[in-house]
Amino acid sequence: MASNAYIIANKRAVSSHPHRQPHLPLLLLLFSLFFIGKFDLVSALNYTKYTRKVSNLRLQRIQKHLEKINKPAVITIESPDGDIIDCVHKRKQPALDHPLLKKHKIQRVAPEMPKVKTLKRDEGSGDSKRKEGEDLIWQMWHRNGTRCPKGTVPIRRSTTRDVLRAKSLFHFGKKQSTTINPTRRADAPDVVSSNGHEHAIAYTGTSQEVYGAKATINVWDPSIQEVNEFSLSQIWILSGSFDGSDLNSIEAGWQVSPELYGDSRPRLFTYWTSDSYQATGCYNLLCAGFVQTNSRIAIGAAISPVSQYDANQYDITILIWKDPKLGNWWMGFGDNNLVGYWPAGLFTHLADHATMVEWGGEVVNSRANGKHTSTEMGSGHFAEDGFGKSSYFRNLELVDADNSLSSVHDISTLAENTNCYNIKNSYNNEWGTYFYYGGPGNNPQCP
């Protein structure tokens, strides 16, 4: 296998994800949407079913947009979960449609990887009792054994159905301003973010120059109560003003988002913005910007298998750092697998360096029926439940101006409502700085 991006924490068998969906041909889908206007999501969960009248004009606009982002494929791969993965020539990928990247030449020289400072390891310490199993990197579309050929990149095809789940065509693939200001006291009345976004995060200070970050993230499949809610676990690379319109953010991790993907599977994702989520940036490759270079990893594709309660634990390692030579922000997945990069020209503040890093979980609580929803963060269990039960981030590291990785020692934590979701951090020689986090959402203490 390619790497130990996916690590088995013990060697007991793990069953594959139980949810499967059939793929609907686009013509049949257009017919049903136009004449019926009805579509459902995964029926096993408590999702709202609704009917929407779709005008011919709106369908035409959607189709024009899909033609722009769904590039011609060299070959097409159908995933067992219903996803269609198009293998697109790397020079035809959506990134190069960006006005700032019209003359962009894809970086061919590998970026200079961050140097790793020597760390002591103590195999008997604390929560580090885990066995590293066989190397494994799994995305659902890998199961039939087909891979994209050299010179192409795998891109998850977007459909009319995907767009119709969004509030509008403009909102498709985007999220509203969600980053919180960690300088506020956790018990302040105004700490709860707008739009129902809630967090359990660890973060650095704002006075340092940061050139990247790394962490290994436990993967689960938290349940989502409402279609327009999500649950994610990610790294944020930030610079700019939190209370202004110029915040720059680069993000990557895993998420469950029924509105974006139409199912409840955890998926590898990326995000970027240079204006506080107002007009620039998007998830994955749903707009121009992120330049993909890897032919084996599909951003937005489902991750499988996932961690199970008190059983096998699976995690992914993500590294985001600024190439000291060319200045682009690269994403690594697992054991030095280069996924692609965000060109420095997309950003203002991040064109130079980052000033803050956040690691952790985020959910949307829509307060359906006037109470906190039961959308889970992480595993759906609180931090104090520990290994095998609650979700974790481990080996938190930062990249400095010398392009060196070192363990983070000075972090703060924040959760808006610890009765719903919480976080507890610690340190040992094997996991470095780590934390457990998450929660079930609605419960007797979280009404």
pLDDT value of position 65:
97
- Bridge partners of 232? 255, 362
The question of whether 358 is a catalytic residue gets the answer: no
Maximum alpha-carbon separation in the chain: 64
Phi first, then psi: give them for residue 164, nearest 5 degrees.
-65, -20
Q: Are strands 422-428 and 197-203 parallel, antiparallel or unpaired?
A: unpaired
Distance CA 99, CA 89 (A): 20
| pLDDT < 50 stretches in the chain | 1-44, 46-51, 119-136, 184-193
Q: Where are the domains of the chain?
A: 62-113+136-177+195-439
- pLDDT tens, residue by residue, 375-420: 999 999 999 999 999 999 999 999 999 999 999 988 999 999 999 9
Dihedral angle at the C-alpha atoms of 214, 215, 220, 224, nearest 10 degrees?
-60
Q: 373 near 225, Cβ under 8 Å? A: yes
Among residues 265, 261, 227, the alpha carbon closest in space to that of 19 is found at: 265
pLDDT value of position 54:
84
Phi first, then psi: give them for residue 99, nearest 5 degrees.
-55, -35
The question of whether 209 is a catalytic residue gets the answer: no
**pTM of the prediction?**
0.85
CA angle 371, 375, 378 (to 5 degrees): 140
- pLDDT tens, residue by residue, 132-191: 333 345 899 998 888 999 999 999 999 999 999 999 999 999 987 655 555 544 433 233
Question: 64 in helix, strand or coil?
Answer: helix
Hey, how many other C-beta atoms are within 10 angstroms of the C-beta on 279?
A: 11
pLDDT value of position 40:
41
Q: 158 near 286, Cβ under 8 Å? A: yes
Give 341: exposed, middle or buried? Use CB within 10 Å, 0-12, 13-18, 19+: buried
State the DSSP string of 208-244.
S-B-EEEEEEE------SSTT--EEEEEEEEES-TTS
pLDDT value of position 208:
83
Q: Round to the nearest angstrom and report the end-to-end CA distance of the chain.
A: 46
Question: 424 in helix, strand or coil?
Answer: strand
pLDDT value of position 5:
42
Selected catalytic residue, list 198, 358, 362, 430: 362
Q: 139 near 304, Cβ under 8 Å? A: yes
pLDDT value of position 242:
83
pLDDT value of position 260:
97
Read off the tokens for 45. Answer: 């969960």
Q: Are strands 432-438 and 391-399 parallel, antiparallel or unpaired?
A: antiparallel
Ramachandran area for residue 262 (φ above 0: left; ψ -120 to 50: alpha; else beta): left
pLDDT value of position 322:
98
Selected catalytic residue, list 226, 229, 251, 259: 251
pLDDT value of position 187:
36
pLDDT value of position 192:
38
Phi first, then psi: give them for residue 59, nearest 5 degrees.
-60, -40
CA angle 224, 283, 410 (to 5 degrees): 80
